Amino acid sequence: MGAEGIRVEGLEREFKGGIRAVDGIDLEVAPGEIYGFLGPNGAGKSTTVLMLVTLLPPTGGRATVAGFDVVKQGPQVRRMIGAALQEAALDDFLTGWEHMDLQGGLHGLSRKESRARGGELLERVGLVDAADRKVGGYSGGMKRRLDLALALIHRPRVLFLDEPTTGLDPQSRSALWGEVERLAREEGVTVFLTTQYLEEADVLAGRVGIIDRGRIVAEGTPSALKAEIGRVSLEAIPSRSEDRERLRAALAPFGKPAAHSPRGEAVRLSGGAEQLADVVRALDAARIEVAELQLHQPSLDDVFLEKTGRSLEGSDDSDAEAPEPAAA
């Protein structure tokens, strides 16, 4: 493992009252890789990030970031990393530039260096025009972009992004994705990204770790994980919603239930796509009128369902304003 990656062995964090938020996880992230850490709210994602960025001591196991031990070499780790933690903690009464000067100064940049580097970063995240305005007037997307720029001011080699796009509109999300991708590809920055959006992990991450209840339940490239599930799933939406029960019964013989379908039913076809004709005949025989019938390639949500028995979206209890990911 290169000096600029992440290595985690048996990492644990137990809180008061015996709650094990992180319950022994192992993972490795190669330099320049984007690692997606995927899981529902409360799965232990943020706790893991806090330990890796040295803000929370682990209660067990060990971890090195950029070759430094997160417990014994906190200051060295912090020098090598940048982090944009949840909710982009910015000061509403300061301007973008003032944030830049503060952050750059505290990282030991001279005012001149800080200005040069800050200007470059503000340019890159498209905030040059807004940089003299107070952050209180920024949109959610602008705040996240400023947060990202601030995290990069001291040229970190490892970047931690904790739910960087939660609550953002689709345009802001893809703008942020583009920048993160560029950082990894062109500058070789290692990125550790947590998300509860399958699409985000799918689009961005070279490898994905799925965490549930403090444990990693699956790990690999998105395509390998999906291949492990293998089979396509079929989703049917009845014309009349009262037919859903009967639809479920009619589909049951063709395979196990697949990840949730908001308005219909889905099964993972045990015999593959060739079964499609049989399904249509069965629905016809049962006189169930179908408004939509679709075949889906396996998604990360299917992987999550397979490994945990629950659907990722179904278990998501975050605020309703979060955009619904266009999963699978």
Partner 1 sequence: MPGEPHLARQIALIAGRSVSRTFRQPELIIPVILFPLILLAVNAAGLSSVTQLPGFPTDRYINFAIVVCFIQGALFASITAGTELASDIQKGFLDRLALTPARRWAVLVGATFGGTSVAIVGTVIYLAIGLIFGVTISTGIPGAVLLVALSIYVALAFAGIGSWLAVRTGSPAAVQGMFPLIFVLFFLSTMNLPAEFIEKDWFRTIAQINPISFLIDGMRSLIITGWDLGELLPCIGVATAMIVLFYGLAARAMRQRVQRT
Q: What is the contact surface with partner 1 in residues (CB under 8 A)?
A: 53-57, 70-72, 74-75, 77-79, 81, 83, 85-87, 89-91, 93-94, 98, 101-103, 105-109, 113, 134, 150, 154
Cα distance between residue 50 and residue 9, in whole Å? 16
Closest CA to 45 of 192, 167, 202: 192
Whether residue 25 contacts residue 33, with contact meaning beta carbons closer than 8 Å, is answered with no
Pick from 98, 177, 85, 80: which is nearest to 134 by CA?
98
Q: State how beta strands 265-269 and 233-238 pair.
A: antiparallel
Q: Considering beta carbons, is residue 80 or 266 the nearer one to partner 1? A: 80
Q: What are phi and psi of 182, to 5 degrees?
A: -65, -40
> Per the structure block, which two tokens stand in for 37?
């850490």
Bridge partners, residue 211, by sequence: 216
Shortest Cβ 69–partner 1 spacing (Å): 9
Between 98 and 181, whose beta carbon lies closer to partner 1? 98
DSSP secondary structure, 213-237, as one string: TTEEEEEE-HHHHHHHH-S-EEEEE
- By beta-carbon proximity to partner 1, the closer residue of 110 and 239 is 110
**What type of residue is 91?**
D
Compute the least distance from the CB of residue 108 to partner 1, in Å.
4
Question: In whole angstroms, how close is the CB of 81 to partner 1 at the nearest point?
Answer: 8
Q: Specify the residue, 109 or 327, whose C-beta has the smaller distance to partner 1.
A: 109
CB of 113 to partner 1, least distance (A): 8
Nearer to partner 1, 134 or 248 (CB): 134
Minimum gap (Å) between residue 301 Cβ and partner 1: 30
Q: Which is nearer to partner 1, 111 or 263 (CB)?
A: 111
Pair 234, 269: CB distance under 8 Å: yes
| Distances 281 to 74, 254, 278, 285, 286 between C-alpha atoms, Å | 64, 12, 5, 6, 9
Taking alpha carbons only, the member of 205, 283, 215, 284 closest to residue 250 is 283
Give the nearest distance from C-beta 290 to partner 1 in angstroms: 48
